[in-house]
Amino acid sequence: MTIDQAGVPEAPPFPEHEARVDAVRRQLTAIAGQATIRLAKRTSNLFRSRAAAKHPGLDVSGFTHVLRVDPESRTADVEGMVTYEQLVDATLPHGLMPLVVPQLKTITLGGAVTGLGIESSSFRNGMPHESVLELEVLTGDGRIVVATPDNEHRDLFRGFPNSYGTLGYALRLKILLEPVKPFVELRHVRHHDRDSYFRALAEACDSGEHDFVDGTIFGPDELYLTLAKFTDTAPATSDYTWLDIYYRSIQRRQTDHLTVRAYLWRWDTDWFWCSRAFGVQHRLPRLLLGRRFLRSSVYWKAVALDRRFKIAERLLKLRRLPPEETIVQDIEVPIGRAAEFLEFFEREIPISPVWICPLRQRPGGVRWPLYELDPEALYVNFGFWSAVPLDPGERDGVHNRMIEAEVTRLGGHKSLYSDSFYAEDEFWRLYNGDTYRDLKRTYDPAERLLGLYEKCVRRR
């Protein structure tokens, strides 16, 4: 409750939200004193296994409301479990969109802010947490705090990104929006070598001519930059939500037009290109499945089944093929080291295609201590999601460890949404252990929530 200048209690701005907050606070109180607190989630966009919970989790499934979209201030108040699909549906009728919309429809606002996110607007808008104005958090010690860039909880505001729910859970966020036009015009520009490709990428990001920049690398001499901008008109628009496949169009078309909504979700229908693992990039299965089942959330369920029953592993054994190591990673290196990383990757890791996304921190000098970037530098995100065969005698994890070492050598960072293999002392050196421990002591002193290393790296 807040008090106005006359000393009169003000009604909460979102009373139904406040009721949900009270309910989750009561849940937390009811959990046994020494039990580790977890969210009772049926789905996740994390690519690492979750240990079985021994106690009931916090049910935050009701926090799925877009509370307000304000076209005048270009802001939105949303609950933590709102998906970007929901938010985009709420903002586009106002001619607005979030500053960064991660590629998969079911990523939540709370998840993107505590676990990072990126997209083709990130070269000018940074990551999702950089557009947050206010953050309401249920902390590990049971408090509900509102953190802003300049209030008494500013350290939590800045340390929340990359904490992965180990300091608390986002219940409500106030974020900035930006105006859109009805369509997006795309140009796919092919390059034939690494050096010219990354020079062109840097020039595109600095030119001020593009609203979106990303890229797709199919091989050493087939590297595409996709340069896109808003437009009021389009001669015709493509549809990549059913029979046609977006990433294949990059090789076949020099120009393209999409509606804004179709552009934002261009990668979701085929989970970038990972739908090929499920055999649905052929015409007949796409005809049979229809738009309803061609989406990332369905593939995620298939992955969960595979993990549970080890289907792919058993099929490899039946076919007498070598075991495989899963490599699902997003990493960033400075633009000046990008060609060097790609040369290493093409030599050591037989995965193709690879997604490329430039990233630059938004101006303003805010420090995000658990995932620090040079505020003056342009970085290149490499996304690669597949599996590679293990040679005789190789242990699972060998390729992932190789990637981690190379990223560190090049002055880069690795996202923690997937499996990580760092030794504990190296992990805390890379992810600012001193600051994290200070935040943990302040907001979760009894360690009711998992620690960041325990959650993201440690095998149990």
Tell me: the pLDDT tens digits for 183-195? 999 999 999 999 9
CATH dotted code for 183-421: 3.40.462
For the question of whether the overall pTM of this predicted structure is more than 0.85, the answer is yes
Residue 53 has a pLDDT of: 56
Enumerate the domain spans of the chain. Answer: 30-180+429-457, 183-421
Structure tokens at 406: 């190379």
Could you write out the three-class secondary structure of 145-175?
Answer: EEECCCCCCHHHHHHCCCCCCCCEEEEEEEE
Residue 411 has a pLDDT of: 97
Residue 2 has a pLDDT of: 47
Task: Give the Cα separation of 117 and 112 in Å (integer).
Answer: 5
Q: Which residues of the chain have pLDDT under 50?
A: 1-9, 460
Residue 252 has a pLDDT of: 97
Residue 214 has a pLDDT of: 98
CATH dotted code for 30-180+429-457: 3.30.465.10
Residue 292 has a pLDDT of: 94
Q: Among positive and negative, which fits the CA dihedral 406, 408, 411, 415?
A: positive
Beta strands 183-191; 75-79: pairing state? unpaired
What burial letters (b/e) apply to 329-360, b meaning 16+ CB within 10 Å? bbbbbbbebbbbbbebbbeebeebbbbbbbbb
Tell me: the pLDDT tens digits for 431-454? 999 999 999 999 999 999 999 999
